[in-house]
Chain A
Amino acid sequence: MSAPRKQHEKLLSRGLQFSFLLALLLVWYLATARWGVSRILLPAPATVWRELDDVLRSGEFLPHLRVTLIELASAFAIACTFGLGSGYLISRTRYAMAVFEPLLASIYSVPMILLLPLYVLFFGLGSGSKIALGATVSFFPIVLSTIAGFGSVERIFVTSARSMGASNAQMFRYVLLPAALPVVVTGLRMGFTIALLAILGSETIASFAGLGHKIAQLAEAMETARMFAYIAFAVAIVAILNIITTALERRVKLQ
């Protein structure tokens, strides 16, 4: 396919995506302005826009954003430490892989949000329980992809490096790590994304602070216009973080 044609198709699909969002906005507008949907349940787009403008200008969002991001960073750091560490150790023997890989994969399929009441009991209503939940959900894709990445390095790479006299450290740095990295990095990105989802979600259920907390609080106070503004803000933050992590993942894989 020729380059300009490809460009053209890309433009077309972008245009369609944009029109879809625009149509959604239009339905939203019509629902509030024409079809008489309650303003309390569904505020008009213009009202939400004004609220969002106010939220951003006043800087009211800052403490909540900070809490959520700190929780995310702590949870991800814990998940990385344990996920990468234990994943690498498990990948070192076939036996450990045969024992732990299916075990971890089956635990991964349990809905982790069920742990939240327990974590609230253990760590309280504050950030502790959110970090614990975020770290738990994020641990699994990281450990599983680390096992998969380091466990599936082709033997011939290891054999040929050994024949050329690679030390253990050189084997890790120049053979195992680059061979495993593409798979591991995918796990890291997935872990990061679901940690963010779990933290925002658990903040809406039981918490003192954070973006999720603010959204739930506004809903309870029936301040739906401001709540919608915060939802839009949270969606934007998630989108920005996703763009950054996806770009980082692609960069690592291209190396």
Chain B
Amino acid sequence: MAKSDVAVRIRDVSHQFGEPGDARFVQALQRTSLDIRRGELICLIGPSGCGKSTLLNIIGGLLAPTTGTIEVDAKPVRGPLPHDIAFVFQENALFPWCTVKENVMLGMRFQGVSRTEQEKRARDALAAVGLNDFMAHHPAQLSGGMRQRAALARALSLQTDILLMDEPFGALDEQTRIVLGEDLSVLLARAAKTIVFVTHSLGEAVFLADRVAVFSARPGMVKASIDIDEPHPRKPSFVTTEKFSDLRNKLYGLLHDEIRKSVESAAVTELNA
């Protein structure tokens, strides 16, 4: 793989919370290495607590790894890179005291984008996610799905090459997830961004990803990586194909043992506590 094809290079990244011996010591990530290709949508999937969200925060510079290195565009990450990387968090990351449009504009304001440019980009981004009619609403007036659309619009308006999405649909009901997933696939096919998408959902991973990285139970590391060879935007009918269920089953097989391990180790931890 040529160097310029790699958007994010993760090398031997480990992360621990607390010190060994502490009651709350957790080894979240263990010597994880992964190359994220430019323009791909990679899903990180794995049992709870395997460190996939931790890895996302490390890539975004919100968290410094205990050991190992991260490079974005061949430059080491030492803190947030607001011009290169935008986040969509699980939920409630919109500021409740701002309207939807103000929320989108605020991110750009932090980066010194001019007022007229803020207006224009906010309108475009909100139109792209289908929220034109809700620009003056406050987040509390929107449904969970609409709030996540707004959060996505805020991230898109920053025009970064890389988008990190931390279980963005995790708190939504199944039907809303499906619709948002379909819309996201259409949207991202146009955007040509590098996307790292953390999810718990096998179906979501297969439907959205170009590649799925499967994490082992804690301490997490990449156990396998599966290519999903299907052009974007994906059609809703993709989920009914045999290819979809084969891939989903393959993922399920890889994950199943890890999930059991993680549940059992959690039970042991609880017994010891």
Which residue of the partner chain A has the closest CB to B82? A165
Q: Is A167 part of the contact surface with B, judged by Cβ < 8 Å?
A: yes
From 48 to 98 in chain B, residues with beta carbon under 8 angstroms from any chain A beta carbon are 60, 62, 80, 82-83, 85-87, 89, 92-93, 95, 97-98
Q: Dominant SS at the A interface? A: helix
Closest Cβ–Cβ distance, residue A16 to chain B (whole Å): 34
Which residue of the partner chain A has the closest CB to B97? A178
**A166 and B110 within 8 A (CB):** yes
Chain B contacts to A: CB under 8 angstroms: 60, 62, 80, 82-83, 85-87, 89, 92-93, 95, 97-98, 106-107, 109-111, 154, 158
**A163 and B97 within 8 A (CB):** no
Interface window among A37-45, A68-76, A154-162: A154-162
In the complex, which of the residues A163, A167, A170, A174 contacts B62, with contact meaning CB atoms closer than 8 Å? A163
**A161 and B89 within 8 A (CB):** no
**A163 and B82 within 8 A (CB):** yes
* Contact status of A165 and B95, CB under 8 A, knowing A156-B89, A159-B62, A160-B89: no
Closest Cβ–Cβ distance, residue B136 to chain A (whole Å): 14
In the assembly, what is the distance between CA of A156 and CA of B151, in Å? 13
**B80 and A165 within 8 A (CB):** yes
**A163 and B86 within 8 A (CB):** yes
Q: Is A106 part of the contact surface with B, judged by Cβ < 8 Å?
A: no
Question: Could you mark each residue 153-185 of chain A with 1 if its beta carbon is under 8 Å from any beta carbon of chain B, else 0?
Answer: 010110111111111001000110011000000
Q: Is A58 part of the contact surface with B, judged by Cβ < 8 Å?
A: no
Q: Is A93 part of the contact surface with B, judged by Cβ < 8 Å?
A: no
**A164 and B89 within 8 A (CB):** no
Closest Cβ–Cβ distance, residue B179 to chain A (whole Å): 24
**B97 and A164 within 8 A (CB):** no
* Contact status of A179 and B97, CB under 8 A, knowing A154-B92, A165-B111: yes
29 A-B pairs within 8 Å (CB atoms) are namely A154-B92, A157-B93, A159-B89, A159-B93, A160-B87, A160-B89, A160-B93, A162-B80, A163-B60, A163-B82, A163-B86, A164-B82, A164-B87, A164-B107, A164-B110, A164-B154, A165-B80, A165-B82, A165-B83, A165-B110, A166-B110, A170-B110, A174-B95, A174-B106, A174-B109, A178-B95, A178-B97, A178-B98, A179-B97
Closest Cβ–Cβ distance, residue A220 to chain B (whole Å): 53
In the assembly, what is the distance between CA of A161 and CA of B98, in Å? 13
Residues of chain A within 8 A of B106, CB atoms compared? 164, 174
**B95 and A157 within 8 A (CB):** yes
In the assembly, what is the distance between CA of A159 and CA of B111, in Å? 15
Residues of chain B within 8 A of A154, CB atoms compared? 92
**A163 and B87 within 8 A (CB):** yes
Question: Could you mark each residue 49-77 of chain A with 1 if its beta carbon is under 8 Å from any beta carbon of chain B, else 0?
Answer: 00000000000000000000000000000
**B83 and A175 within 8 A (CB):** no
From 105 to 147 in chain A, residues with beta carbon under 8 angstroms from any chain B beta carbon are none
Closest Cβ–Cβ distance, residue A73 to chain B (whole Å): 29
Residues of chain A within 8 A of B83, CB atoms compared? 165
In the assembly, what is the distance between CA of A175 and CA of B80, in Å? 17
Closest Cβ–Cβ distance, residue A7 to chain B (whole Å): 25
**A164 and B62 within 8 A (CB):** no
Q: Is A2 part of the contact surface with B, judged by Cβ < 8 Å?
A: no
In the assembly, what is the distance between CA of A206 and CA of B247, in Å? 85
Residues of chain B within 8 A of A157, CB atoms compared? 93, 95
**A164 and B86 within 8 A (CB):** yes
